Amino acid sequence: MKPPFSLIVVHGDGSRVLRLCVPRWIAYAALGLEAAVLAAVVGVSSDYALVRRQMAVVRQRADDQRALLASFEKQLPAIRNEVIGWKALHAKMWKVFGAEAGSEQEPTVIGASTPDAPAAAGVQLPPSEQLEVLASGVAEEGPRLHELERMVSRTSKMLNALPLRWPVRGPVNSEFGLRRSPWTGKPEQHHGMDIGSPPGTAVESPAAGTVVMASCHGRLGRHVALDHGNGVTSLYGHLEAVDVAAGQRVERGQVIGLVGNTGRSTGPHLHYELLVEGKPVDPRGFLREAATPPLGTSAP
């Protein structure tokens, strides 16, 4: 058996000496316990550092999610209003083709599934539910938009055939409707609009059509009439020259004559007239430009 360890304790001034005998197993146990405590401290420190790093990552992800959610909540009203705008625009466009054109596309139930229902009811839904409502609204408008696209495609040829452009640009000296006659001074019905322009200015066809009249007789002097189909006819009077012949097919933008002062006229201008099913209508109802030429002072 191995002898025990001896521990000698000397007093500070050397006056006393204390000797202790410690069994080996106690010394080894003490050393083992110290090593175990040290290992435990090191392990806990490592785990604590790992936990701190993981917590930092979690906090960063939470901050990112909160920022994304805040951005999403800010965009929701704009997206919802956009979808509502689609619905209003689609309804307005359907009226152009008649009430029966989109009747099958109208929603049968109006409830919480409509994008504007939560706002109208004053209920603030969670973002996830608002997203579901918006997705439902988009899915609802999709088929209507495709049907509207097909309808526009079917009617595009007719729309392209309408005289929607100005045949010549210049001040409008006399509008369509009741006016004072420049000849008698009495009220009279003016069946077109008079557009002032220098003599010799090219007059362009506002839409494709067929020449049904090219004459130099009557109060309009040299004049041309075009048939655009669908009961729409356009008339151009007081021309200086006519560049087309009866029966000829003309395209949009093609020159059909030159501005002049022929016939019953007191100054160079173009008399532009539109007829629908043989009845004169206001040409401004067909002109697509929002801005109209200003009124002038030259003679009609």
Q: What is the DSSP string of 147-185?
A: HHHHHHHHHHHHHHHS--S-SS-S-EEE-SEEEE-TTT-
Average pLDDT over residues 74-92: 73
Top pLDDT among 96 and 49 is at 49
For 143-194, the pLDDT digits (tens) are 777 777 777 777 777 777 789 899 999 999 889 988 887 777 788 888 999 9
What per-residue confidence (pLDDT) applies to 107?
44
Average pLDDT over residues 265-288: 91
- Residue 154 CB contacts under 8 Å (≥ 6 apart), including other chains: none
Q: Are 236 and 167 in contact (CB under 8 A)?
A: yes
Question: Residue 131's closest CA among 181, 71, 80, 195?
Answer: 80
Dist CA 224 CA 24 (whole Å): 129
Q: Are 132 and 253 in contact (CB under 8 A)?
A: no
What per-residue confidence (pLDDT) applies to 63?
82
For 228-261, the pLDDT digits (tens) are 998 999 999 999 999 999 999 999 999 999 999 9
Dist CA 127 CA 133 (whole Å): 10
Dist CA 154 CA 100 (whole Å): 16
Q: What is the largest CA-CA distance in the chain?
A: 152
| Domain 172-285 class in CATH | mainly beta
Compute the mean pLDDT over every residue in the chain, rounded to the nearest whole number.
78
